[in-house]
Amino acid sequence: MRKTQRMENRQVRRANLQGYHNGNFGSENYAFDGFEKNQYYTSDRTIACDDHFNRLDGKALKGYGLEIETGFLLTGSSQAKAILSNILNTAIFPLFPAHLFKQQCDSTISGTECITQVMTKEFIRNNYKNFKTMWNEMFPMFGITTDDGHCGMHVNISVGCLGTTAKAQEENTRKLFYIINKHYDFFRTALYRKGSTTWCGRMSYENAKTMDVHHMNGSHNNCFNGSHFDAGRIELRLVGGQKNFACFRNTMEVIFHLIGRVKSLSWKQCDDLVAIFSGCNQYVYDRISTKCFSAGFITDAQVQEIRETVNREELL
């Protein structure tokens, strides 16, 4: 092979490795920097955002951003990372609307971190078919795993999902913080967190009612990262690596239900799993009636009471 051709091939590989991160794939950068275009993916269109992920029309985002950590069978070398990056860029990300994903280096995992821009619940559900192809067909085909005991899936939630006023957003963030930590072992199972909780530990919640949401802890060792509240989002770090599409769908449905429900819960109801999960759909009920029940974090009587309220809706 000619020297010039070898150089061209090397440049192509390097370009693919850089992926959606503008040449900074080799560094561990702030998660939501570096997209080619900042977009808000709604059910049927995209809306442009500025460099700080604010809508240009001044309206609040009401969506979810995923950080999906991957493992890769070909581990231990920069060449393996480049191969994985090429696969993601050329075979998997094109399943979805353009510019939705980017990649980021993470030294704690063998693969890369696949980060989405902000998506509404409706957009995620509309793309369940594509997520199913990604998890059940493409990942196994190329030896990519998201369930090797080291991977997680952090979920960023716009504070706009928690209320239309600043007061409501603050209060519902406090309640969400309380619920996750009060029922920590339950939600560790409900959100499919297996193995170590080094990066998503339980936090003190006794003073949640008076917590200053504008100065919440942002440690990567905690299950709830509220340090970006003033930037318009909070991060659930307790979510585990998802083993397949059904696992991913049920986990997302647990989160969707919780975010919708917390806005109508009283503080007293935040102690009651039946009140929290009343009116959930069958995908949420499946998770709590099997995984959470078998783990001993909810009683049979509670499960049966929730069962009477299940709202049936068919999703892929």
In a domain, 226, yes or no: yes
Domains held by the chain: number: 1
- pLDDT tens, N- to C-terminus, the chain (316 residues): 444 433 333 333 333 333 323 333 444 444 556 788 899 999 999 999 998 889 999 999 999 999 999 988 776 567 787 888 889 999 999 999 999 999 887 777 878 899 999 999 999 999 999 999 999 999 999 999 999 888 999 999 999 999 999 999 999 999 999 999 999 999 999 999 998 899 999 999 999 999 999 999 888 899 999 999 999 999 999 999 999 999 999 999 999 999 999 999 999 999 999 999 999 999 999 999 999 999 999 999 999 999 999 999 999 7
Domain assignment present for residue 289? The answer is no
Cβ pair 181, 223 in contact under 8 A: yes
C-beta separation of 147 from 242 below 8 A = yes
Contact 87, 69 (CB under 8 A): no
Q: CA-to-CA distance for 192 and 250, rounded, in angstroms?
A: 9
Q: What is the DSSP letter of 157?
A: E
Is 300 within a domain? no
Decide if 316 is inside a domain.
no
118: in domain: yes
Pairing type for strands 39-41 and 118-119 reads: parallel
Give the residue among 157, 176, 174, 178 at the shortest CA–CA distance from 211: 174
The C-alpha angle with vertex 275 and arms to 277 and 157, in degrees rounded to 5, equals: 55
H or E element that contains 72: strand 71-72
Distance of CA 289 to CAs 12, 187, 245, 270, 307, Å?
49, 13, 19, 19, 9
What gap in Å lies between CA 67 and CA 291, rounded to an integer? 23
The answer to whether position 93 is within a domain reads yes
Structure tokens at 126: 């509309």
Give SS3 for 165: coil
Residue 302 is assigned to a structural domain of this protein: no
Quick one: which of 44, 246, 236 has its CA closest to 128? 246
Check residue 76 and give its pLDDT: 59
pLDDT value at position 265?
98
Smallest Cα–Cα separation from 151: which of 255, 239, 24, 252?
Answer: 239
Distance CA 30, CA 227 (A): 13
Q: Which residue's entry shows tokens 């936090």?
A: 203
Q: What is the CATH number of the domain that holds 14?
A: 3.30.590
In-domain check, residue 171: yes
Q: Which domain holds residue 143?
A: 3-183+196-263
